Structure 1
Amino acid sequence: MLQKLLSSTTQKGINLKALYNCVRNEPELTKAEIAQSTGLKLSTCARLLEELIEQGLLYESGEAESSGGRKPKKYSIQPDVNYLVGIDISRTFSKVVLMGLDLKIIAEERFDMNDSSTPDVMIEQFTQVIHSMLDRNNIPDASLLGIGVSAIGPLDTKQGVIKNPLHFPAPKWEDVPIKEMLKKHFDTNIELDYGENTALDAERRLGAARDDKNVIYINKGAGIRLAIMLNREILRSTGGDKVGAFGQGHMVVDIHGKKCVCGNYGCMNTYSTIPALLTEAKSRLKRGHSSILSETVDDFSTLTFLQLVSALKQGDDFSEQVVKDVAYYSAAGLANMVIIFHPSIIILSGPMYREMKLYYQTVVEMTEARYKKLFPQLNVAFSQGELGENAAAIGAGSLVLDSLLSF
């Protein structure tokens, strides 16, 4: 029944989709709240609600408080009418999640990315896992409404192509027609977007940004991925895929600084990413700085992020100082973002924030110290998100409904 609703082009069908989308975006609204949000007359809204309930697409999910008289009903979408799959492809791991329409995870699978994780290998693994998930949960293929894919840019989201991402551990990730490759295995809707956008969308719907209008989301690891939400809308570049996603990694934090891969000097990428952190640590170790890493790493040029994290957890003074120094540049860039956008919350995700508590705490403290000099009354909340590494995949699945309900 949902496919029939989604394919309708009549005025009534458009109104039904608008109402359904309203309830999907804000579950447990009352009839009056839905009418106000959609702009439909209350009588029209009541009639369409009943129709969607009869079709099994919505249900009465509770009662709201009443100022007098009968308590108004609240409405939510039926989660098991169809199902969604979200795939997140990153440099260190990939994730597949199977969800109901309410974006609650039914099944999930994680894949570590290594030097053998080529596009062909990953598509084969994704395909096997999705079919297995559907079979184990007795879901027919026809009930799969679509597959959303989140990935590292640059992307061609319209054509469904991953173009030429940096720092992937395996070869052949240039000009990958991911949408076309999945279409060979699944006769369903396929959508592609930047992982930072889908992660923020998931946190907006289910996580740390549920009650916020203006949000900054940053994922920091081998690179820096930025998403911005203003007035509950996720911003997209006016240049589209020709420009790509927002590039906080190329915000200049030292005009006389190190040369970046982009050709400019002093970009955030050269100071506050995993490669930058390791470069700084290796340089100091080679100059003779004392550290417990001297006992565990034979060749400093082979130092890994996990080794540095381990030393940090053991209280290594050297590792703590390197992390604090690198955090300084993140805080400078983040304070710039706060001063410009005045977000109510900033979500800091990715391995640098997730694996290094000291790094996260230092960035938050230094960011607050900077922006409060100019805006002492501005209070910004900081979070590492509530959905963890599943955020991007959840948001990717939601992307399918976003596309189908757009009109």
Structure 2
Amino acid sequence: MRRSISLSPSKRGIFQYIAQRNDVAKEEIQQALQLASSTASRLLQDMVEEGLLLSSGYGPSKGGRRPILYNVNHDYGYIVGIEISRFYATLGLYDLALNAKSLTRWRMDSSMKPEVFIELVAQKISAYCKDHQLSLEQIVGIGIGSIGPLDRTSGVLINPAHFPAEGWANLPISELVAQWMDMPVLVDNGADCAAIGEQLMFRKQGLEAEHLLYINAGVGLRTAMISGGSLVQGSYDREGAFGEMIIRAGDPPILPGKPAGALENYASIPALVEQYKTQYRLGRTGISSTTPAPAQEAQIDFDFLIRELRHENPVVRELFHQSAMYLGIGVANLINTFQPHQVIIGGALISAYKGYSEIVASIAHKYTYNSPLYQAQFMEGLLLEDAVATGAALLVRNKLF
């Protein structure tokens, strides 16, 4: 039987405080949550007896007895985190401290229809349970971080563009997975999940993470913002709205469905493919004599561009360089609006071209308001490609605990 979780607000506060740190003393909890010493002692003792917390040793003495340190009981329950993107899916099994016990990634191709995807998820969760000698009842919930747009409340994917398989439009993914696996399922957009996942890891390492901008550059441009320690969310899921930012008003349309002059026309995978096709028609391929040129324009895709990057194709390299410059201008606009401390940029474009993120940072710094006095710190995330799945698992932990 699956564990029933019901915590008072005070216990939730204690759990969340400890879960975002490592080895916390009662005095620190007391001060942070403004609890009386006797109340803190009683609640901590209750949570240890319930198995939710563990005493993890003793801290340094401050003149008296060494304080007991508390940590989350990793094995109290387990959470599944899932990322759904256009290129690939990731599934992870996490303990309650959000340590990854197992992670699997697979391509999302034209065969990966919803029913195939859900059955594969169920098979992998069963395999994880067998590997780690767990029962399904020990998994307290599933979190899904997905491309949008989506309805967070109902867990419905509305109409994801550029999806390789059919059947994902208006899909109640939360309900379908919950029925198949018989456990709670929460859904949010992938960029938000990545941002809170990275924030958690920053805090665990004692790093500042109160003002953080997360950007994923791939098939589309997806963003999330943490300000004052909290995720900034509007009334409607618009994680892809950054790509609609107009940076070249008056330009002709490039990508179907995108406004003329919108950033995604210049800094996205479909944009790069279309721009190279234009060069191809003009006979400017940049392809060396040792590399066969594509016989047809239809053969030009992102995999082809990656191969040409490895062969130092000057035309492809120039297109990636221009793409990064445009993205840097867009990022500068976000920095000027939100003033983040850190900017994390990930995604397929960053992975494909080694200098991409450096160009984005350089251009963004150039156009940042009051640049000599304020510069956001550009950095690689701590979770990298696992950020969305980890953040999706965190959604569940935050909801239940």
Taking structure 2 as the reference length, what is the TM-score of the superposition?
A: 0.93
1:376 to 365, 372, 376: 372
* Structure 2 partner of 1:233: 230
Q: Aligned-pair distance for 1:310?
A: 2.3
Structure-2 change in CA distance of 1:29 and 1:280 (3 Å): same
Tell me if the contact between 1:258 and 1:270 (Cα under 8 Å) persists in the aligned partners. no
Letter matched to residue 6 of structure 2: S
Answering whether residue 268 of structure 2 is matched by residue 273 of structure 1, we say: yes
- CA distance in 1 between counterparts of 2:315 and 2:240 reads 33
- CA distance in 1 between counterparts of 2:54 and 2:272 reads 51
* Structure 2 partner of 1:364: 361
Tell me if the contact between 1:216 and 1:347 (Cα under 8 Å) persists in the aligned partners. yes
Tell me if the contact between 2:219 and 2:269 (Cα under 8 Å) persists in the aligned partners. yes
Q: Aligned-pair distance for 1:190?
A: 0.8
Structure-2 change in CA distance of 1:262 and 1:15 (3 Å): same
Matches within 5 A, 1:27-42: 27-42=22-37
Q: Aligned-pair distance for 1:66?
A: 4.2
Q: Secondary structure at 1:49's aligned position in 2? A: helix
Q: Aligned-pair distance for 1:21?
A: 2.1
Tell me if the contact between 2:89 and 2:108 (Cα under 8 Å) persists in the aligned partners. yes
- CA distance in 2 between counterparts of 1:99 and 1:110 reads 15
- CA distance in 2 between counterparts of 1:230 and 1:272 reads 25
Structure-2 change in CA distance of 1:396 and 1:280 (3 Å): same
4+ residue runs over 6 A deviation: none
Matches within 5 A, 1:220-299: 220-237=217-234, 239-241=235-237, 244-245=238-239, 247-259=241-253, 261-262=256-257, 264-292=259-287, 295-298=291-294, 299=296
- CA distance in 2 between counterparts of 1:205 and 1:378 reads 25
* Structure 1 partner of 2:103: 108
Q: Aligned-pair distance for 1:28?
A: 2.4
Q: Aligned-pair distance for 1:159?
A: 1.2
Letter matched to residue 398 of structure 1: L
Answering whether residue 313 of structure 2 is matched by residue 316 of structure 1, we say: yes
* Bigger Cα displacement from structure 2, 263-272 vs 127-136: 263-272
Q: Secondary structure at 1:80's aligned position in 2? A: helix
* Structure 2 partner of 1:325: 322
Q: Aligned-pair distance for 1:365?
A: 1.5
Answering whether residue 331 of structure 2 is matched by residue 334 of structure 1, we say: yes
Tell me if the contact between 1:160 and 1:192 (Cα under 8 Å) persists in the aligned partners. yes
Letter matched to residue 211 of structure 2: N
Structure-2 change in CA distance of 1:83 and 1:291 (3 Å): same
Structure-2 change in CA distance of 1:363 and 1:137 (3 Å): same
Tell me if the contact between 1:297 and 1:303 (Cα under 8 Å) persists in the aligned partners. no
Q: Secondary structure at 1:357's aligned position in 2? A: coil
* Structure 2 partner of 1:60: 55
Q: Secondary structure at 1:7's aligned position in 2? A: coil
Structure 1 vs Structure 2: percent identity of aligned residues? Answer: 29
* Structure 1 partner of 2:156: 161
1:21 to 16, 20, 27: 16
- CA distance in 2 between counterparts of 1:170 and 1:365 reads 37
Deviation string, structure 1 residues 171-214 (Cα, Å, up to 9, x no partner): 11111111221122222211000011111111111259953210
Answering whether residue 128 of structure 2 is matched by residue 133 of structure 1, we say: yes
The unaligned stretches of length 5 or more in structure 1 are: none
Q: Secondary structure at 1:184's aligned position in 2? A: helix
1:401 to 390, 393, 397: 397
* Bigger Cα displacement from structure 2, 328-337 vs 297-306: 297-306
- CA distance in 1 between counterparts of 2:258 and 2:334 reads 23
* Bigger Cα displacement from structure 2, 84-93 vs 319-328: 319-328
- CA distance in 1 between counterparts of 2:249 and 2:323 reads 16
Q: Aligned-pair distance for 1:292?
A: 1.9
Tell me if the contact between 1:82 and 1:144 (Cα under 8 Å) persists in the aligned partners. yes
- CA distance in 2 between counterparts of 1:138 and 1:248 reads 44
Tell me if the contact between 2:150 and 2:158 (Cα under 8 Å) persists in the aligned partners. yes
- CA distance in 2 between counterparts of 1:382 and 1:258 reads 32
Tell me if the contact between 1:218 and 1:349 (Cα under 8 Å) persists in the aligned partners. yes
Size of the aligned set, in residue pairs, is 396
Answering whether residue 175 of structure 2 is matched by residue 176 of structure 1, we say: no
Letter matched to residue 394 of structure 2: S
Q: Aligned-pair distance for 1:319?
A: 1.9
Q: Aligned-pair distance for 1:109?
A: 1.7
Taking structure 1 as the reference length, what is the TM-score of the superposition?
A: 0.91
Letter matched to residue 36 of structure 1: Q
Structure-2 change in CA distance of 1:134 and 1:293 (3 Å): farther
* Bigger Cα displacement from structure 2, 217-226 vs 300-309: 300-309
- CA distance in 2 between counterparts of 1:191 and 1:267 reads 32
Q: Aligned-pair distance for 1:61?
A: 2.6
- CA distance in 1 between counterparts of 2:56 and 2:243 reads 44
CA-based RMSD of the aligned residues comes to: 2.1
Q: Aligned-pair distance for 1:263?
A: 5.7
